């Protein structure tokens, strides 16, 4: 079964190795979906949403929210940010689930989907 939690964070960046409007400083309100896969446990849950929220907040949002993403990434494209988020939260053993998918929106119509290597 798949379980998804939605998050959001605000951050600024400028794209390097890019020529166009996005090479200039600008910001986004990012929307993030984190999906895990697992079996329903005795308590009726695959994962407690509060546990997933705490994990993502500690590993990702506490670092990226209201930040300048170029301080973390050479080129903070949505693709690079999504791979980084995956690597930060992929260890889900303590919850007995597997990270299945991450979807990161830069705006309501543009997003990246990543399912690991």
> Could you give the residue numbers annotated as active site?
22, 66, 106
Chain centroid offset of residue 9 CA: 10
- What HEC string does 12-64 produce? EECCCCCCCHHHCCEEEEEEEEEEEECCCCCCCCCCCHHHHHHHHHHHHHHHH
């Amino acid at each position: 079964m798949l379980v998804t939690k939605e998050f959001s964070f605000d951050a600024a960046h400028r794209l390097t190795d890019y020529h166009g409007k996005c090479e200039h400083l600008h910001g986004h309100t990012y929307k993030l979906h984190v999906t895990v896969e697992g079996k329903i446990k005795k308590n009726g849950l695959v994962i407690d949403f509060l546990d997933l929220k705490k994990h993502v907040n500690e590993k990702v949002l506490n670092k990226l929210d209201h930040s300048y993403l170029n301080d973390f990434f050479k080129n903070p494209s949505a693709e690079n940010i999504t791979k980084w988020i995956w690597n930060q939260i992929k260890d889900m053993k303590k919850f007995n689930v597997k990270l299945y998918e991450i979807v990161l929106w830069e705006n309501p119509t543009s997003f990246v989907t990543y399912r690991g290597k």
